[in-house]
């Protein structure tokens, strides 16, 4: 039976990648966001994932933001690198780079567009994990990639010594329960949906890889901490109280709303790369109202 110390317990922020008006990476804002997140008590940082627009970063940019985040974090919290791709060879190359620059773990999404069979997923993830000298977290988000990791596939992959966890964003609680029944003692399971943090904690999950925590790191980490400390009622109350804001953060394609929210808080500019566009004004008005109600504006 495989079990290791989790990469983190609690909340990890799936950080946005700040950009300048000309579309280049805004490293000054990125550094300030990293420092603020850590000061607010976040438990880990995820770099160049979905929220970080990893799929539209150039190869040079992708490697640069990983290296910068490691240096800026300076060992204060774990840094988890988004290294997934629909090109397995490229994912392996990015994973090796992330290991070299000192990232603490990899977050590897299922292949998008070309998709894969379950056999293909096992072969792909095994090849990436074979190339990594740091732990690998599997990232399942079928609404974006068109492919779902089945519980039986998690079981097969749990035998790999470098595969340590799951970011589960399939939204299907029944499947998630099945996954816990098969690998809950072998893999650390994190919610990939902010509206399911407490349900996954209740099953024995280790926390969340969060978009909400981009703008509310302290409260998101507190939701997890309260659960771990046995204050289940307090954790549930936070989940319910923050649900309207969570829903607003996903009323358009992520990271459109969280980029707008981050800009409204002065954390970075509201610049996002095509094919994503800025948030629709009517939706942003609702988001800002809910943010104001939480004291963020």
Over residues 41-48, mean pLDDT: 98
Q: Which of 190, 225, 226 is nearest to 206 (CA)?
A: 190
Check whether 3 has a pLDDT greater than 60: no
What's phi and psi for 168, nearest 5 deg? -100, 115
CB 273 within 8 A of CB 25: no
Domain locations in the chain as residue ranges: 10-229
Beta bridge partners of 108: 138
Domain 10-229: CATH superfamily, name plus number: Aldolase class I (3.20.20.70)
Tell me if residue 96 is catalytic: no
Average pLDDT over residues 65-91: 98
The two structure tokens encoding residue 104: 């603490």
What does DSSP assign to residue 209?
E
Instruction: State the catalytic residue, choosing from 125, 134, 139, 154.
Output: 139
pLDDT tier at 279 (50, 70, 90 boundaries)?
Answer: very high
Concatenating the DSSP letter of every residue in 158-169 gives: TTSTTEEEEEE-
- Give 192-223 pLDDT, tens digit per residue: 999 999 999 999 999 999 999 999 999 999 99
> What is the C-alpha separation between 252 and 258, in angstroms, rounded?
10
Please check whether residue 40 is in contact with residue 76, taking contact to mean a CB–CB distance below 8 angstroms.
Answer: no
pLDDT given for residue 1 in this prediction: 46
Point out the catalytic residue in the list 134, 167, 219, 259.
167
Residues whose CB is less than 8 angstroms from the CB of residue 66 and which lie 6 or more positions away in sequence, other chains included: 47, 48, 79, 81, 97, 98, 101, 103
What is the DSSP code (8-state) at residue 108?
Answer: E
Tokens read off for 224: 């997890």
Query: Is residue 139 annotated as a catalytic residue, yes or no?
Result: yes
Neighbours of 9 (CB within 10 A): 17
pLDDT higher than 80, residue 53: yes
| pLDDT confidence of residue 5 | 85
> Interhelix angle for 88-101 vs 59-73, to 10°?
30
pLDDT category at 238 given cuts 50, 70, 90 is very high
215 DSSP assignment: T
What is the percent of the chain where pLDDT is above 70?
A: 99
Confidence check: pLDDT of 237 > 70: yes
Cα(160)–Cα(7) distance, rounded to whole angstroms? 16
Averaged pLDDT score across all residues of the chain:
97
Q: Does pLDDT of 17 surpass 50? A: yes
- Range list of H helices, 102-216: 118-131, 142-145, 151-157, 173-183, 197-202
Give percent of the chain above pLDDT 90: 98
Tokens (6 digits) for 222: 């507190």
């Amino acid at each position: 039976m495989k079990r290791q110390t989790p990469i983190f317990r609690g909340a990890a922020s799936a950080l946005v990648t700040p950009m300048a008006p000309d579309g280049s990476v805004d490293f000054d804002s990125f550094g300030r966001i990293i420092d603020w997140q850590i000061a607010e008590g976040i438990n880990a940082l995820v770099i160049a994932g979905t929220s970080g627009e990893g799929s539209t970063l150039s190869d040079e940019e992708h490697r640069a933001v990983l290296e910068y985040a490691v240096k800026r974090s300076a060992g204060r919290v774990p840094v988890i690198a988004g290294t997934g791709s629909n090109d397995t060879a490229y994912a392996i190359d990015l994973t090796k780079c992330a290991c070299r620059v000192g990232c603490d773990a990899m977050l590897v999404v299922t292949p998008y567009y070309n998709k894969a069979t379950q056999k293909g997923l096992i072969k792909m993830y095994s090849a990436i994990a074979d190339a990594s000298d740091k732990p690998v977290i599997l990232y399942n988000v079928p609404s974006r990639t068109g492919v779902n990791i089945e519980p039986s596939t998690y079981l097969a992959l749990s035998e790999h010594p470098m595969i340590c966890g799951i970011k589960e964003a399939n939204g299907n609680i029944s499947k998630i329960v099945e996954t816990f029944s098969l690998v809950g003692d072998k893999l650390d399971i994190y919610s990939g949906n902010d509206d399911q943090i407490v349900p996954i904690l209740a099953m024995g999950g280790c926390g969340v890889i969060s978009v909400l925590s981009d703008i509310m790191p302290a409260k998101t980490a507190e939701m997890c901490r309260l659960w771990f400390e046995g204050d289940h009622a307090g954790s549930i109350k936070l989940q319910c109280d923050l649900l309207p804001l969570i829903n607003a953060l996903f009323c358009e394609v992520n990271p459109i709303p969280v980029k707008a929210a981050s800009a409204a808080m002065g954390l970075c500019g509201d610049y996002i790369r095509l094919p994503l566009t800025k948030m629709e004004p009517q939706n942003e008005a609702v988001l800002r109202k809910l943010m104001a109600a939480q004291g963020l504006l």
